[in-house]
Copies of this chain bind each other. A is one copy, B any other.
Amino acid sequence: MSAADWSQVQIARAALSRLFEPSDNIGMALVAAAGPEEALGIATGRTRCGPTLHRAFLEVLADTGHQVRTDVLTGAVARWGSRKDSLVPLRDLETVKRFGGTLLTPESEAWPAALTDLQLGMPLCLWVRGESPTTIPPLERVVAIVGSRDSTSYGSSVTAEMAAGLVNRGYTVVSGGAYGIDAQAHRSALMTAREDHPLPTLGVLACGIDRYYPAGNEELLREIARRGLLVSEVPPGSAPSRWRFLQRNRLIAALSAVTVVAEARWRSGALNTAHHAAGLGRAVGAVPGSIQSANSAGCHRLLRDGSAICVTDAAEIAELAGPLALVSGPERPAVKAVHDGLTVEDLLLLDALPVRASSTVDKLASVAGLSLPGVLSGLGRLEADKLAERSDDGGWRKTRH
């Protein structure tokens, strides 16, 4: 282990990421007021928080809408104290390095600008694991596909198709590495990506990036680390917990221009991700499904309450991601009907024309409710459009196509 490979701010943030749970607003306000190194000293009880700094700390909380007691820091330091003996930031940093990864901090140029939208909830750092050196693409090139663990074959197949379509358009597909929809999204992105794709998929984990959770996805997670990226805000070795899952969802939402819920039950963690995305002003898409499938009830809930836009293919998702998307994607086949562009009068006349036999101009006028001159000029237009033709007996009929 060598401290020389890492900056002081990286080491401090690595330690703080073990001390604070994700979105610990008290801790984040302390870092905002004091900077990571001094915040670490105060959080671990090594340094006293002077009155000027304490005022600044309370101001950060007030400015971000948190109403707290003035002695909130004392309680927080006691809370953090229970973990201070387990702090081994350099060992954590070496662990991630061994996996070919690194620690991204807001001080780094590679820090995803999109995360600043989380304000006080911006993570302290991102533990990143990936074998090929790469960076997280800018917001407008990233789409999240999330959904239920217990996906149906319908959910899996729409997820696979959409992820493939997005990767073919050059997008990075983000998901949470879980069973079901998440796994399908990662898998399809990896299967589809050509060698030159900047980053087919990104897994945002609720546990340390050295852990294979869930165990059944070990092979997939290894492959994401090899050809994509795994990221987490909690340090190596950390176990996933319900709180960390919920907070992890805000990172998925913040990193992605669009969050698509492919399949979700009425009550599903994927809806939490969707609400994070909506709260950040990001686009949210929901894939409709059978109303008889409980596995799509969450998607329909989002559509009904207006939180999400209905998306049925990768092109529609790309459209939500922004103008960049408009360069590619197949056009929906426009089925043109024969009567497109006809005037009301010509449409009435077309309706009145028999398919077999034929009709006289007088009879057409009566059936269509048009004047004789109206019928004559209309027949001329319909004949020119190859919609009407003269029959051998001098009458008129519809042209068969």
Contacts and interface: CB of A to CB of B under 8 A. Distances in A.
Nearest to A162: B291
Contacts of A347: 242-243
A106 B297 CA distance: 44
A320 to B, nearest CB: 10
A89 interface: no
Contacts of A371: 75, 78-79, 81-82
Contact of A242 (B80, B158, B288, B351): B351
Count the copies.
2
A309 to B, nearest CB: 6
B291 A289 contact: yes
A241 to B, nearest CB: 4
Interface string A77-110: 0111111011000000000000000000000000
Interface stretch (A163-171, A362-370, A385-393): A362-370
Nearest to A247: B344
Q: Is the interface of A mostly helix, strand, loop or mixed?
A: helix
A55 interface: no
A339 interface: yes
A348 B288 contact: no
Contact of A154 (B20, B243, B290, B369): B290
Nearest to A296: B288
B337 A312 contact: no
Interface residues of A, number: 58
A335 B339 CA distance: 51
A366 B83 contact: yes
Contacts of A86: 366
A75 to B, nearest CB: 6
A310 interface: yes
Interface of A: 19-21, 24, 75, 78-83, 85-86, 154, 157-158, 241-243, 266-267, 287-292, 296-297, 299-300, 303-304, 309-313, 316, 332, 335, 337, 339, 344, 347-348, 350-352, 362, 365-366, 369-374
A83 B371 CA distance: 9
A373 to B, nearest CB: 7
Nearest to A313: B291
20 contacts: A21-B369, A78-B371, A79-B369, A81-B371, A82-B362, A82-B371, A83-B369, A85-B366, A86-B366, A154-B292, A241-B348, A242-B339, A242-B347, A242-B350, A243-B344, A243-B348, A267-B337, A288-B299, A303-B310, A304-B312
A332 B300 contact: no
Given A21-B369, A78-B371, A310 B316 contact: no
Nearest to A79: B371
Contacts of A80: 369
Contacts of A300: 288, 310, 312
A300 B65 CA distance: 39
B296 A79 contact: no
A266 B266 CA distance: 27
Nearest to A25: B344
